[in-house]
Every structure is written in C-alpha cells, then in structure tokens.
Amino acid sequence: MDKFVVILKEKRTGQLDANLLNLHIEHLRHLSREGKLMIAGPFKNNEQGMLILICEDIEEAISLVESDPFVKEKYYNTYEINELIVANEENNWLMDNPQTTGNLVH
C-alpha cells in the first residue's frame, strides 16, 4: 500500500455549517475504520487542510478525496495529491533509493 499526502486548498473561510462538518467527520471515521486514513487535520493558518491516505494507487486516493463532503461541496475548492516515499530507519532514510542517489551531486 502506498501513502498519499493530500493538501486541501482554497477554503471558503467563514462558510462551514455544522451539517457539512458532521458529514466530513463521518467520512474521516469511515476512512479510519477501513485503514485508509493515517492522519488528518487543518493547518494552523486556517487556510488549508491535510490528509495522509493509505491506498493501492493514485486513482483510489483521488476517489477517496473526491468523496469527501468538504471537496464535493466545494468547502475546499481544490486539492493536491502527492505520493509519499516514506523514509525511516528500516530503509536507511532512503540513502540507497534511486531518487536520492539520482539527486546527488557527482
């Protein structure tokens, strides 16, 4: 399973009603129960939000984002999705990853 970082953008500030918020929270609960949501939350600047999704591929990630009531109802007008290459102790912080080695100055 791959991880995808979703940035929700262009928020309609001051236009959140309780019903839409509840629908969004239920969507997040569903994703969490299904093992598809790693983390979610708004940025402190109150302009954007973020999700990290665990999906089979980019198409699944897009489908999950586009089924979010915040996106469907244009509370966030746009979003960006990027696949995350996880760096950790287990993979030596990507020191031997082709993307890392390809970026090294020779």
Cα dihedral sign for 44, 45, 47, 52? negative
Mean pLDDT confidence for 75-103: 94
Cβ contact 81:5 at 8 Å: yes
pTM over 0.85? The answer is yes
pLDDT digits (tens, 9 = 90+) for 29-76: 999 999 999 999 999 999 999 999 999 999 999 999 999 999 999 999
Beta bridge partners of 49: 8, 42
Per-residue pLDDT reduced to its tens digit, 9-24 = 999 988 899 999 999 9
Query: 61 in helix, strand or coil?
Result: helix
